[in-house]
Structure 1
Amino acid sequence: MAGRRRKNAGAPSAGAPDEGAVGAVLPADLELQDLYGAFAAHGLDDEDLDDAAVLVPPVRLPAESELADQAKAVPMFGYALKLARWTAPHREVDEFGDLTGPDRAPAARLLGLAPEQGEAPEEAVVEAMRAWSLACDLDLIEIGTTAAGEHVAIPGPDLEPAERGDAETVLELWLTAAGIVRELAVEADSLPEEEAAEEAAERAGAVGEPEPESEDDDDEERLARVEEAREEAAELLDEALQVLYETTAFADPGTETVPLGVLAALLVVPEGEEPSEELLGDITDVMVALDPMLNDLAELGVLDYRPIDPELFDEEEGPEPLGGGVGDEPLDEEESARFGLVRLTPLGQYGIRQWLLEDGYDAPLVGELAQGDAAELLRGICEAANVLPEEELQVWVTDREPVDAARELLAASRGNDAYAPMRRMLSRLALGMIGRPAEPAVREVLDDPELGGAARAWLVDLGATDVPAPERGMALWTVIDTFAAQLLDTGGDAELLRELIADLPVTGNPASYFGELWRVDHPYTADVLEAVGELHLDRTVAKEARKAAFKARSKS
């Protein structure tokens, strides 16, 4: 798929969009840390973060067997399978591989497109021929020649496994079919009507102007313009599909419905701007351009689509801009639906993800990181920019034996590398998901110098009353470690960090407190103290923190 060039829509300061809402905010419009927790942001400069923020968010997909069943239920795909079976053992075709005249009406009846009795309607025959063409393109039907020179069609080798429901075969065939329809949807057989009319008018009024050098030159120019129009349409469709894909990141597959006007606005309106009269016109143009292409993709089950109501079109001027004009009252739900509604199906998510992967995008699935052991899980979450940590942790802990899972998480949390504080924070989050059954494993690490402080706090939060207080050194180390994890998790967000800093257990004698803290042997001691010194609102506390940070740097 082509890289997105859409305008950035306005984004909230924090948090993810509501799963059930449809609006102008999509996952790609949020800051990296707002979406995923900035686990991979540590150490990146602004340019790196800009690149990381356009990564495709993870999505949930049904099992491949379920997707295959959905593919077989798509009418056009099902027609292709039926026609392929109908050719067995062989069926005569013409020299182009098309059905002969006598077989065309029976094919339409076979597919249920025409009544059993009487003449088959022309549109039913056309639909059957389209399904035949698709079956041939997918090699579900193979064309050959007999020894007598007759042209015949026979079932292809993929038909039987597809009929049996082999998920890999079905999905590969469906994806090929979706790709064919995607290409056909943007084919420009001629110049747009308006451009063709302008061209004719220019030629009619070009009295005395030089004639083209030759008809070949004229045709070449026309073909170039057609190809340019086709490329623009393909790019627009790719952008629209990727935006639709992104809206599914925080919703169950196939549940997010987007008004076509909203989709067009996301492609047109620059960040932070209200749509002007001119932009409303551009939005309408994009809607009109997308309408037939989305309708074509709906035929293969890529999406569910309610097209623009034809009655909205004025024969001379075309459709009014969405909303009628700047300052107009917003449309109610039913009136807005007349301008088009689009919803990406789970099959569509699957197909677009495959196209993104083919083009080199990182397009993960929720739960992909949860397939290995705890060490792989925690490392993967820390290193991946486009990951939903809580989702991955929840998938991992589900169906695992609680005590064994807790022990594995705690063991994977140890270390003094750059990501170690985040691993420990993620482990605490996962232990919270396991709950009380993890208690025996947590009690086993009460005296661990890296895990003991957090383990004691976890047990107290659980309601335990027999937990001994940590030694002073362990308590101070845990303060640095916990704040370091938050420092990395927030990506350096000053507002969030000030809230965390306000909770630091600074006593009435900050010089004494920071005098102890800078001596803590932790890789992030100086970083934490510098953050406190920069952001603490109490000038005395901030000054002592900066002095302590300097000592910690000198010590290291």
Structure 2
Amino acid sequence: MLPPEARQQIRAALAGETDLVRLTPLGTYAVRQRLLAEGRYVPLVGELSHATAAQMLGMIAEHHGPGTGREEIDRWLAAHDADGVEPLLDAVRRCAFRSRAAAMLDVLAESRPDGEAFLRTLRADPALAPIAIHHMIDSGQLSMEDLTPVEGLIGMAEQLLQVLEAEGPEAVREALAEVPDLPELGHALAHSGHPDAQGLQELRSLVIEPSLRNARRGPHVVADPGRHPRRKRPKSRGKRKR
């Protein structure tokens, strides 16, 4: 490893206008081996061809860009004699984590030239529709006006479940703080048809029900046990006449 002074000089030199160069295959190999020796993960296109579909999509989501991700998926499909992407969609369906499943589906959509049309076909898929709808809303491919009432509710449930998974119950409670009729929304989400029944149950038990209990109690003041209430002094009745 280079000494700190040398690394600092290299960073300073690269901060300005610099002519970029392309490594030769031998140079690329040498740099990769150096990074691997330092304990860093350096993806190599083709090394995931014999991984499971879930492993392959997950690794692409974490370590690959769109270009190499597309090539990695093509090589995986060829190695597994897959007729289409259905095995990859099955891997997304089986993923137990909402955020990871969304990342896996994003990778798959980005690898296709017809990515937007591909996601639109998934609006009818019972398991993948929530993720596809949420992705298209988030990317601007769809607006809320483009959704049916059922799709809008499923998309909302997906958004809340992803926030719950990534940031915890408090973040969801803050997001729902201004909802005027929380009991009605909670009932609608529970019966939205979203496929993640366990996630909906957690949303109700960790977010909806505690929020309703707090709303019923209302704001209250907790007395400081270290202080005593101050007694009022009796009103003066004037001086006693002698």
Q: Secondary structure at the match of 1:450?
A: coil
Name the one with the larger helix percent: 2
Structure 1 position 537, deviation (Å): 11
Q: Secondary structure at the match of 2:122?
A: coil
2:184 corresponds to: 512
Counterpart contact for 1:366–1:391, Cα < 8 Å: yes
Q: Aligned partner of 1:349: which letter?
A: L
The TM-score normalised by the length of structure 1 is 0.26
Q: Deviations over 1:243-294 (max 9, x none)?
A: xxxxxxxxxx6xxxxxxxxxxxxxxxxxxxxxxxxxxxxxxxxxxxxxxxxx
Equivalent position to 1:418, from 96, 101, 114:
96
2:237 corresponds to: none
Q: Aligned-pair RMSD on alpha carbons?
A: 4.9
1:450 has 2:127 as partner: yes
Q: Deviations over 1:345-399 (max 9, x none)?
A: x55434344xxxxxxxxx64335797238x93534676xxxx6844246432257
Q: Secondary structure at the match of 1:523?
A: helix
Q: Aligned partner of 1:351: which letter?
A: A
Task: Give the number of the structure with larger relative contact order, counting CA–CA contacts within 8 Å between residues 6 or more apart.
Answer: 1
Q: What is the correspondence of 1:111-130 to structure 2 with a 5 Å cutoff?
A: none
Counterpart contact for 1:413–1:424, Cα < 8 Å: yes
In the aligned structure 2, how far is the partner of 1:537 from the partner of 1:380?
A: 42
Structure 1 position 487, deviation (Å): 3.5
2:205 corresponds to: 530
1:349 has 2:25 as partner: no
User: What is the count of residue pairs matched by the alignment?
Assistant: 185
2:42 corresponds to: 365
In the aligned structure 2, how far is the partner of 1:370 from the partner of 1:484?
A: 33
In the aligned structure 2, how far is the partner of 1:505 from the partner of 1:406?
A: 41
Q: Secondary structure at the match of 1:365?
A: coil
The TM-score normalised by the length of structure 2 is 0.51
In the aligned structure 1, how far is the partner of 2:210 from the partner of 2:25?
A: 50
In the aligned structure 1, how far is the partner of 2:84 from the partner of 2:62?
A: 16
Structure 1 position 509, deviation (Å): 1.0
Q: Deviations over 1:461-485 (max 9, x none)?
A: 444579852342x544443444334
Counterpart contact for 1:510–1:541, Cα < 8 Å: no
Counterpart contact for 1:484–1:524, Cα < 8 Å: yes
Q: Deviations over 1:183-235 (max 9, x none)?
A: xxxxxxxxxxxxxxxxxxxxxxxxxxxxxxxxxxxxxxxxxxxxxxxxxxxxx
Structure 1 position 438, deviation (Å): 0.8
In the aligned structure 2, how far is the partner of 1:467 from the partner of 1:350?
A: 49
1:376 corresponds to: 52
Q: What is the correspondence of 1:63-462 to structure 2 with a 5 Å cutoff?
A: 65-66=26-27, 70=30, 347-353=33-39, 364-366=41-43, 371-372=48-49, 376-379=52-55, 389-392=61-64, 394=66, 395-398=68-71, 409-415=88-94, 418-419=96-97, 421-430=98-107, 433-434=110-111, 437-460=114-137, 461-462=139-140
In the aligned structure 2, how far is the partner of 1:369 from the partner of 1:480?
A: 37
Counterpart contact for 2:109–2:118, Cα < 8 Å: no
Structure 1: gaps spanning 5 or more residues:
1-19, 22-61, 71-252, 254-345, 354-362, 544-556
In the aligned structure 2, how far is the partner of 1:379 from the partner of 1:505?
A: 38
Q: Aligned partner of 1:438: which letter?
A: G
Counterpart contact for 2:54–2:91, Cα < 8 Å: yes
In the aligned structure 1, how far is the partner of 2:185 from the partner of 2:152?
A: 12
In the aligned structure 2, how far is the partner of 1:369 from the partner of 1:423?
A: 22
Q: Aligned partner of 1:397: which letter?
A: R
